[in-house]
Amino acid sequence: MEDDETFDAGKGSHLNQDGFVSMDAGFMEGAGLNVGAVAGLRDIPNPITVARRIMESEHTFLIGEGAARFAVAHGISRCNPQDLIVPREREEWLALRQALRLNAPYGDTVGAIARDAKGHLAAGVSTGGRKFAVPGRVGDVPCVGSGFYADDAVGAAVSTGEGEYIVRIVMAKRAVDHLAAGMHPQQAAEEVIAYLAQRVGGRAGIIVMDRAGRVGCAYNTFRMGRAWREDGRLIVRVNRED
């Protein structure tokens, strides 16, 4: 998904106030609760790959230039930062700068949960952040427990939405805790979105999977694209009426 310019992740990410992409990602595997996260990348096409390499190292979270150097040391190539900027985002950045939109609309996140034949879970998220963000801004995505969480013993969750609010309720971990308490994934998803709105007034979406592979999703944003496999069928939804 980072290679698809449609999404706010990898190539096609939103631009910050300085006119550059600043990308974050997080990855967690549920067997050993191992985690890797990265923030502030400007010139790595696939930040999720860096997050996974970090997870496989002695580190858990790297940022900026240090993260980029780590990536190169582990066989991941850097690119020209301009190669990640698409015309759509450049035009929108120019319009926002002209209007001095310091509170531009939030961006979005791509996220996925996987469960293999042995029941092992993994959760990954990647984002270019919000539109016209203050340089140095980091949201929920690379924050373990907020943007993503996976535990083979219980389940996994990934978040999207207003990161400044999501981190305040540690949303992904909260959803997994609901699974541990016996909730169905759909109920867990609905509960955390309702709590986010009631407690801090945030807008977001979440997908949740339990250890058995059952899936739930909920959101209080205008829409949220989501897809999953059920009984061998691929199910795709974007709007509420789908």
Catalytic residues: 109
CA atoms of 85 and 147, how far apart (whole Å): 24
Asked whether 153 and 38 are in contact (CB, 8 A), the reply is no
Quote the Cα angle for 228-29-2, to 5°.
55
Q: For strand 121-127 and strand 109-115, is the pairing parallel, antiparallel, or unpaired?
A: antiparallel
Closest-CA residue to 151 (of 126, 174, 168): 174
The SS3 assignment for 136 reads coil
Q: Which residue has the tokens 């997080």?
A: 26
Return the number of other C-beta atoms located less than 10 Å from residue 117's C-beta.
5
